Amino acid sequence: MTIVQRKSFLLIAMFAWGFGTIGCANQNGGMSMSHNKFTSVADDKFLESFAATRRFSLGHPTSITVTPDGHEVLFLRSGSRSFVRDLYSFDVDTGEEKKILTSEQILHGAAEELSVEERARRERMRMTARGIATYHLSKDGSKILVPLSGRLFVVNRQTQKIRELESDAGFPIDPQFSPDGRHVSCVRNGEVYVINVTSGVERKLTTGAGDSITNGLSEFVAQEEMGRFRGYWWSPDSRFIAYQQTDTSSVETFHIADAAHPSLSPHTWPYPRPGKENAKVKLAVLPVAGGDSVWVKWHVEAYPYLANVRWQDNAPLTILVQNREQTEEQLLAIDSTTGNSATLLVERDDAWINLDQSMPYWLPDGQRFLWTSERSGAWQLEMRDRVGLLIKSLTPPEFSLKRFLHYDQNHDQIYLAGTHDSIQAHLYRVSMSDGPSILERLTTSAGLHGASFAKDNQCAVYVHNENLIDGSQQQAVRTLDGRELGVLHSVAEKPPFMPCVEFTTVDHKQGFRAAIIRPRNFSSGKKYPVIVYVYGGPHAQTVQANPNNYLLQQWLADHGFVVVTMDVRGTPSRGRAWERVIKNNVIDIPLNDQVEGLQALGKKYAELDLSRVGVYGWSFGGYFSAMAVMQRPDIYKAGVAGAPVCDWLDYDTHYTERYMGLPDENKIGYEAASVLSHTGKLRRPLLIIHGTADDNVYFMHSLKMSNELFRAGKEHDFLPLSDFTHMVADPNVTKQINQRIVSYFLKHL
């Protein structure tokens, strides 16, 4: 892979002072500002390439797995303009790459088919890949499980022999190897099945599914909001399976019809709205050899959410349960023979508790586990004993912990990602030994660093993923002592330009981080209209030290705009208090912060014409954009709202109630945060874009907003995307949407 020359020292120096500008053309001197006609340098072919390559991401290695012995790295890769992935291996000893398996080999040219349930599951996972979209490596590394087109295939890594595990019981969901590799499990038609890999004999383990009951599947809010996609778990000795039973009989049913094809039956889904009934979830343990289910006992009425389940070597079945308000949770150790539970720890937060799906992590000795908490005001990694008592904190509160990555058993060390700068992520190592915990930083180049480790705690090889501030990217195979053994090959197309991004800290009492993208032919002697690219809500940052994130914004800027994006209060990575100021009202403080931040940038950068400001975003960003043009027409002169939530009473329980509380206890907040309360204020151009088949933010949100605007006599533009969900993966539609957006801002700004 050809890597762009790195200028790490210079970039880090500029970054430290908060004024690094990357990839810009000349910036002419002079202070006089004018509205001279702008000559667009936007690349006419860029948008087509951007869409066809899925933001130039297709062709990069993904789904990386290091084998337990550390001699091979498995990964998936598509062509540069294909969503169809193939399975590859990288030989660590020789540096050679080979293709192991393709969907063409397996299906012999037949079309790939997906069930409605699998499509919905992939929607929750934000997965657009086809072909070999996923694979699973057995614990001993000898076999690979490949689900494809509703069928299951096992590949022997040594002989490369492919064998299908045939079944006529239904489409397999969430297939897994048992820890001993002797069985493959999956869920078919709401029941858990196991298949003997040697004989091919399949048995149904669970019973009772049908109508509103499923076994072995996670419910909607677990997948969409908790990040828990699994609904059953093997015991480490492969003798038992713990499975979730879900009853949605009391949950409201939503229907999605294809209005363009009224002859087709609508799809129906249980969808829990705030203040209404959730799915009822239970957990049971079942012997694989046959026998009765043992139901796990916990205070379900007080803690209805099953947030996480872990079952690791030498450790008890461990579950995390939350109350409805998500202000309290219990970590419980389960006796799998009786179903009885013992409390390991309790977390409380007056606002809400964030989830970390990597926790708890039991260490191989079974006497200690790792835990992350925001109890001190920021994420910290803790080591606790077998009964939950704190041994010590492994990271300080002033350190921004991003994620736990790996435990190295040979050296009793932890690898993690974190930062002292909210827009970067670096790799660190910390010892588990007695004495003060000292963080050792392993990466130096400014940007975003991540890593993929083997599940074997004694493997000495990992893959280091780099997305640097100079735009270079690579996935290098390294030893734990830092030696590079090779690089995973990428066939992704290179972007035709490098975005001209300046990262800065807004001169404001809160110190917002911002990214500014100027036209590539920018001249400091001109005034430019401004477009604010916004998300503005929980979970997501739009300001990160990776210029490749701003390719589309650069194309937009090249039409004669300066694009600005900011992470204000309510966004992650700046501590508990920073994030939780939005409790009970998700719009007022972030909107005010965005306005004040923009005004501060306007004082600092004379080229920003704050009399011509547009705003756009998708999902929460779409919601924010609609609210911005309605509530602050003095600032925002045009807006584009993509897939916006309009009324929080119509979004799902787990997300909404976390931030807004229960509707009966916060009626004023729900009304203030609803777009429908402000439609009468609209006096600026607004374009609404929404997929008619969206099963996350349902199409009804935009319909309700459009209806209220119409009844209030407010002109607006509405673009429905026929039969599209919350994701828009179709290259042509992606192209057309962005052309419409830039045309809208050219017209109105």
Catalytic choice (694, 695, 702, 716): 694
Rounded to whole angstroms, the Cα distance separating 564 from 599 reads 12
Most distant CA pair in the chain: distance in Å? Answer: 82
At a CB cut-off of 8 Å and minimum separation 6, what does 668 contact? none
Rounded CA separation 124/227 (Å): 9
Q: What does the block give as tokens for 281?
A: 């979830």
- H or E element, residue 721: strand 717-721
For 254, the token pair is 């939503």
Q: Is 694 a catalytic residue?
A: yes
The two structure tokens encoding residue 520: 């590539």
Phi-psi region of 30 (alpha: psi -120 to 50; beta: other; left: phi over 0): left
Question: Quick check: 308 and 228 in contact, CB under 8 A?
Answer: yes
Which member of 426, 690, 716, 726 is catalytic?
726
Residue given tokens 């050899």 in the structure block: 289
Per the annotation, the verdict on 249 as an active-site residue is: no
Of the residues 373, 523, 619, 674, which is catalytic?
619
Buried b (16+ CB within 10 A) or exposed e, 193-218: bbbebeeeebeebbeebeebbbbbbb
* Rounded CA separation 233/211 (Å): 23
Tokens of 184: 């493959």
Handedness of CA 552, 556, 561, 565 (dihedral sign): negative
Q: Which residues contact 185 (CB under 8 A, 6 or more apart)?
A: 175, 176, 177, 178, 192, 193, 194, 195, 232, 234, 241
In sequence order, the 6+-apart residues with CB closer than 8 A to the CB of 204 are: 169, 188, 191, 192, 193
DSSP class of 537 = S
The verdict on whether 299 is a catalytic residue reads no
CB atoms within 10 A of CB 674: 22
Based on C-alpha coordinates, what's the Rg of the chain?
26
- The answer to whether the CB of 190 falls within 8 A of the CB of 270 is no
- β-pair type (240-247, 202-204): unpaired
- Catalytic residues, by residue number, are 619, 694, 726
